[in-house]
Amino acid sequence: MSLMTGEEYVESLRKLKLNVYYLGEKIDNPVDNPVLRPSLNSVKMTYDLAQEAEYEDLMTTTSNITGEKINRFTNLHQSSEDLVKKVKMQRLCGQKTAACFQRCVGMDSFNAVYSTTFEIDKEYNTNYFENFKKFLTYVQKNDLTVDGAMTDPKGDRGLSPSKQADPDLYLRVVERREDGVVVRGAKAHQTGICNSHEVLVMPTIAMRPDDKDYAIAFSVPTDAEGITMIIGRQSCDTRKMEKDADIDVGNKEFGGVEALVVFDDVFVPNDRIFLNGETEYAGMLVERFAGYHRQSYGGCKVGVGDVLIGAAAVAADYNGAAKASHIKDKLIEMMHLNETLYACGIACSAEGHATKAGNYQIDLLLANVCKQNITRFPYEIVRLAEDIAGGLMVTMPSEKDYKSPEVGKYVEKYLVGVASVPVEDRMKILRLLENICLGTAAVGYRTESMHGAGSPQAQRIMISRQGNLAHKKKLAKKIARIED
């Protein structure tokens, strides 16, 4: 079985015994929890689309390991064309969900770990590459969703992992056994962890020799003993828990969730270890993963942006303002910014190249330029969307008031826009805008655009490294006829 249906995916999660907490209480059934279910539906869409003939070329490919048809989210990129299709696939999924569909981090982890383990084995004669190929074969054959876990809590950012007052603020090995290792620590901001079958853990920064215990990469099932998931709060999240919630939720079917994931003395068998103390390769793994994931934002954020732009345009229609020249100009600017982000994602893909392991890596400079723009443009797109929508987006009475026998008639009377548009439809589009701009989807669009895949400064550091300023100086000196 190389491809699961969406329903098969949902049922596969029911078999997991996850240790999930939300609002201080353990969630015994994460699959059907009203707060968590929309995020599961977003992942389900990646399975549903892979079953549709219209999207087969984008959503599926052939495994270079097994030769079987697989979901592209489990793929090792084999060409620049693969990298381009990845971005197009992500835009499609963003358009279909208007939320985070959560499988990108795992896919990006696969490609970074694959090429890095190959090079570690060549130097140290370790067995990490074969370990990882065995793991990925299992993932591909069963079409699993894998959470890529990189970000540690970090504690005092001015101190290295081994110098922290609390040594657990970076995930580390606390015991080495003949058959594996025991790890302790946590990973923060873990998108979709409660919707994943496996977690693939990586170090979060480059390591020094005295950080050896922190230079660890591995995979374990998400319901492994010792793993606890604490779901993060989001703006407007408890609206989903309200009885008969509909209009006020905005994006009712889809969403995304993040969690603080605690590893409390979790055992990792030897054949699931992909890095173990080779500190000089931690930086390579981080850099490659970050590059792939910064490329990803040129697809997923653009797809959500398409929905946001469409919602703003519909709001303008319903407000009776669509013909105003300034509204048209703002929508044009939103589209211009969104397509620029997409162009960056395509560009770094088209300039991809083969690694020593054989899979393809994006152009790191252009990937970091892509993500740098992502830290800016979505904020401007949101600003323009809020401008077009008007203040009613955040001051509108609730759905319960609209349906109230006492005051509903007033909401119906005074929230009317264009006479031909039902008030309920106007409320729905404004709540969708609120959801993407400010609510639960904002985690997957606006705020996550800033911090996901590294802070803006992280991209600027990489742009400085990859920009080859010395070469640019030589070009200028040659044109100016200056000899060194």
- Residues tagged in the binding site annotation for FAD: 191
Strand ranges, E, within 397-464: none
300 is catalytic: yes
What backbone torsions phi and psi does residue 289 show, to the nearest 5 degrees? -60, -45
* From 61, 97, 100, 281, the catalytic residue: 100
* From 297, 318, 402, 445, the catalytic residue: 297
Beta bridge partners of 20: 27, 229
437 is catalytic: no
448 is catalytic: yes
297 is catalytic: yes
104 is catalytic: yes
Single out the residue of 396, 392, 435 nearest to residue 304, CA to CA: 435
Which residues fall within 8 angstroms of residue 400, CB to CB, at 6 or more apart? none
- Distance between CA atoms of residues 345 and 350, nearest Å: 9
Which residues fall within 8 angstroms of residue 347, CB to CB, at 6 or more apart? 363, 366, 370
* From 61, 151, 191, 440, the catalytic residue: 191
Give the DSSP per-residue string, 326-337. HHHHHHHHHHHH
Beta bridge partners of 219: 200
List the structure tokens of 107. 């896919």
Burial class (CB in 10 A: 0-12, 13-18, 19+), 160: middle
293 is catalytic: yes
Is 433:308 a contact under the CB 8 Å cutoff? yes
Is 218:273 a contact under the CB 8 Å cutoff? yes
* From 258, 386, 399, 434, the catalytic residue: 258
- Distance between CA atoms of residues 366 and 98, nearest Å: 25
How, if at all, do strands 69-71 and 60-62 pair? antiparallel
- In the DSSP assignment, the letter for residue 20 is E
Single out the residue of 108, 110, 102 nearest to residue 259, CA to CA: 102
Beta bridge partners of 218: 201, 273
* From 293, 318, 342, 370, the catalytic residue: 293
Return binding residues.
Answer: 191
- Distance between CA atoms of residues 20 and 39, nearest Å: 14
* From 55, 61, 74, 104, the catalytic residue: 104
> Sign of dihedral through CA atoms 3, 103, 112, 342?
positive
List residues with catalytic annotation. 100, 104, 191, 258, 293, 297, 300, 448
